[in-house]
């Protein structure tokens, strides 16, 4: 029997590995639901209201823009991912997923490490303590890449030495670098997945996890086109204005922001608004 809420587009992607970083991947291994399931679930719970919104797409846009999030929880997706442990550390902070991970207590650690090319060494940002800005010179980059290779080789040698002496895998692994890849099965509903994407596609998120989030975004766009359009419009590319920012824009008040960061972020928003205005003018 065919599934009621099927996605031919996503069926075509099942089991395909989308490569991320140098040796990572993301692969959809299962899913439940489609755009239609979201609107049907909403109509069950909001029958009175939704009578006024007959069009499926309009209903999805209404729900996303008014935070009627529970119908999006009816759809679920499962990924198999291969990801370096430092990126995984950030990823696993999203508690609303169901997770199973490759066990380095039970099995020998995956041999792959994330390697950095000579032109990929990012410099510490001066304005954002959590961020990077610009790149190291190629000459220095060559040296760091060479030193990284030495470190990876050395840690592998030590790990093997411990295993050969009969040390338990749970202890032998303790000095493996965070660049070591791990594999996990990660299942999340669409409400929480969109929240994950909002946070991890943002340019404040670290480059590496952004690469995974961008791949997931492409998959969600194919799977749930109406949901994706509404999410892009009302959440991902929207601008949130604080009360003080509204006062500043409407000249109601000449208040100063608490910090340089607030001033900087306000200016970024103004810049973005201008760009949008000028694009709309074209």
Contact positions vs ligand FAD (CB under 6 A) = 93-96, 130, 192, 195, 199, 204-205
Q: Which is nearer to ligand FAD, 93 or 165 (CB)?
A: 93
Nearest to 231 by CA among 221, 246, 216: 221
Q: Which is nearer to ligand FAD, 13 or 199 (CB)?
A: 199
- Write down the catalytic residue from 52, 93, 169, 200: 200
Q: Radius of gyration of the chain from Cα atoms? A: 23
CB of 6 to ligand FAD, least distance (A): 27
The DSSP element (H or E) to which 265 belongs, if any, is: helix 260-281
Q: Which is nearer to ligand FAD, 96 or 125 (CB)?
A: 96
Measured torsion, CA atoms of residues 19, 17, 95, 172, in degrees rounded to the nearest 10: -80
Judge whether 200 counts as a catalytic residue.
yes
CB of 192 to ligand FAD, least distance (A): 5
Please, is 146 exposed, middle or buried when counting C-beta atoms within 10 Å of its C-beta (0-12, 13-18, 19+)? Answer: exposed
For residues 79 and 29, the answer to whether their CB atoms sit within 8 Å is yes
Could you give the CA distance from residue 281 to residue 241 in angstroms, rounded to a whole number? 23
CB of 202 to ligand FAD, least distance (A): 7
Q: Which is nearer to ligand FAD, 66 or 204 (CB)?
A: 204
CB of 196 to ligand FAD, least distance (A): 6
Active-site residues: which are they? 200
């Amino acid at each position: 029997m065919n599934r009621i809420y099927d996605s031919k587009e996503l069926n075509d992607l099942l089991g395909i590995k989308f490569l991320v970083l140098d040796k990572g991947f993301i692969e959809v291994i299962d899913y439940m639901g489609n755009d239609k399931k979201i609107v049907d679930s909403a109509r069950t719970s909001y029958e009175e209201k939704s009578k006024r919104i007959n069009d499926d797409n309009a209903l999805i846009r209404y729900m996303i823009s008014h935070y009627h999030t529970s119908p999006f929880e009816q759809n679920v997706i499962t990924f198999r991912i291969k990801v370096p442990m430092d990126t995984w550390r950030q990823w696993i902070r999203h508690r609303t997923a169901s997770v199973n991970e490759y066990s380095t207590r039970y099995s020998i650690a995956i041999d792959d490490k994330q390697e950095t090319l000579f032109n990929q060494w990012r410099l510490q940002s001066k304005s954002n303590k959590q961020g990077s800005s610009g790149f190291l010179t190629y000459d220095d980059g060559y040296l760091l890449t060479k030193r990284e290779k030495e470190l990876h080789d050395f840690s592998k040698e030590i790990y093997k030495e411990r295993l050969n002496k009969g040390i338990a895998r749970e202890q032998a692994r303790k000095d493996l670098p965070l660049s070591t890849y791990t594999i996990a099965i990660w299942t999340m509903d669409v409400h929480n997945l969109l929240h994950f994407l909002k946070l991890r596609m943002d340019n404040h998120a670290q480059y590496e996890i952004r690469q995974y989030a961008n791949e997931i975004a492409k998959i969600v766009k194919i799977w749930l086109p109406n949901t994706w359009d509404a999410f892009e419009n009302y959440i991902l590319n929207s601008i949130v204005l604080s009360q003080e920012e509204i006062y500043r824009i409407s000249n109601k008040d000449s208040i100063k922001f608490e910090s340089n960061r607030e001033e900087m972020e306000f200016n970024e928003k103004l810049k973005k608004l201008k760009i949008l205005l000028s694009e709309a003018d074209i």
